[in-house]
Amino acid sequence: QALDRVSMSAGGMKQFSSVAEAKGALLKVIDELAVKKDDLAKLVESCGDNTAEAVNKLMPELQQLLSGELKAYGFPPGAQGIMFGFMAFRSIIAQASASGDPVQMADARALQAGMDMFQQALAGTFPSNDKIKEVKLLLAAA
């Protein structure tokens, strides 16, 4: 069951149980972004210079894209689940970065690259296919 795969932190916030699980989740989210990025980019372009309109059109699409994948990992649906998911990604990145273990630190950099890509997508800037491939290779590395 999906809820069993995500642990709870001391504050009751859902967390990924491991770096490997977080990498797997982010890979799935990136796969979804890769499939839909051209349509999302067209949506943003159709708004011209109207940033507010672009954000208003883009956010529901990105929320739908993200919440479906994150829900599979036990996060609540909708905007709250996305917020909790992003917080869980940030938490596991911080833990891996601070571990002192070179492999964990490399995993943290890979996760951060994926998160950076999503931050840019939230701002209406979508990654190239080469960038998506590069980040996926980083995340897929053992």
Indicate if the pLDDT at residue 74 is higher than 50: yes
122 within a domain of the structure (yes/no) = yes
Residue 116 lies in a domain: yes
DSSP 114: H
Percent of the chain residues past pLDDT 90, beyond the cut: 53
User: Rounded distance, CA 135 to CA 63, Å?
Assistant: 21
Report if residue 7 sits inside a domain: no
Segments forming the whole domain that contains residue 41: 21-137
Classify residue 13: in a domain, yes or no. Answer: no
Ordered DSSP codes for 25-83: HHHHHHHHHHHHHHHHHHHHHTTTT-HHHHHHHHHHHHHHHHHHHHHTTTPPSHHHHHH
At 2-44, the pLDDT tens digits run: 333 444 444 567 899 999 999 999 999 999 989 999 999 998 8
Asked whether residue 56 is domain-assigned, the answer is: yes
Number of structural domains the chain divides into: 1
Q: Is 115 inside any structural domain?
A: yes
- Chain mean pLDDT for the chain: 86
For residue 4, the model assigns a pLDDT of 36
